[in-house]
């Protein structure tokens, strides 16, 4: 009887310790991500795009400024994910004709098939969700249409190092 009681106490003590450790890990506050913040106007990368922010080198937001038809841009990054922002800029002949309104663009990483969700905020300003990049070369294609169904294309070649 005494031996059964001792083994019950030892088993209970072991169970309380295990549950205590699990509870301690559950109730601890999560670790904060290291965020490297700099003013947007001062963050420049080698290809002339503004890097708005970097979060632990995993995600980056790039302002492409003015995206025009038949434009090819090259960029190097260490980010695993990339958010793109900018304006859809009409060619000069469209400005003269007053045909400078566009439908929401489609952005696809042709290297891995990732189709980005694109949000048009106001006018021709757009922002995408985070686009997944593969190691090495990524070919990102922009396509958009004017309200009068004229298609435009632009390409972004991104090398993830």
User: Tens digit of pLDDT for each residue in 9-48?
Assistant: 999 999 999 998 888 777 776 555 554 444 444 444 444 4
Contact 156, 73 (CB under 8 A): yes
Q: Give the pLDDT mean for 85-97.
A: 65
Burial code (b: 16+ CB inside 10 Å, e: under 16) for 104-115 equals: ebebbbebeebe
Q: Give the pLDDT mean for 60-85.
A: 87
Whole-structure pTM over 0.85, yes or no?
A: no
Q: Provide the percentage of residues in the chain whose pLDDT is more than 90.
A: 20
What the block records as the tokens of 6 is 């001792």
What average pLDDT does the chain have? 77
Instruction: Express each pLDDT in 98-120 by its tens digit.
Output: 555 677 788 999 999 999 988 88
């Amino acid at each position: 009887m005494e031996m059964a009681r001792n083994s019950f106490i030892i088993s209970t003590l072991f169970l309380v310790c295990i549950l205590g450790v699990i509870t301690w890990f559950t109730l601890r506050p999560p670790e904060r991500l290291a965020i490297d913040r700099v003013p947007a106007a001062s963050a420049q990368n080698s290809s002339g795009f503004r890097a708005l922010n970097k979060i632990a080198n995993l995600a980056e937001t790039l302002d492409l400024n003015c995206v025009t038809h038949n434009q090819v841009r090259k960029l190097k990054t260490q980010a695993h994910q990339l958010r793109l922002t900018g304006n859809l800029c009409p060619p000069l002949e469209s400005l003269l004709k007053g045909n400078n309104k566009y439908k929401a663009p489609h952005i696809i990483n042709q290297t891995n098939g990732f189709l980005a969700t694109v949000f048009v905020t106001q006018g021709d300003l757009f922002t995408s969700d985070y686009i997944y990049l593969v190691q090495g070369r990524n070919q990102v294609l922009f396509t958009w249409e004017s309200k009068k169904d004229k298609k435009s294309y632009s390409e972004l070649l991104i090398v993830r190092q």
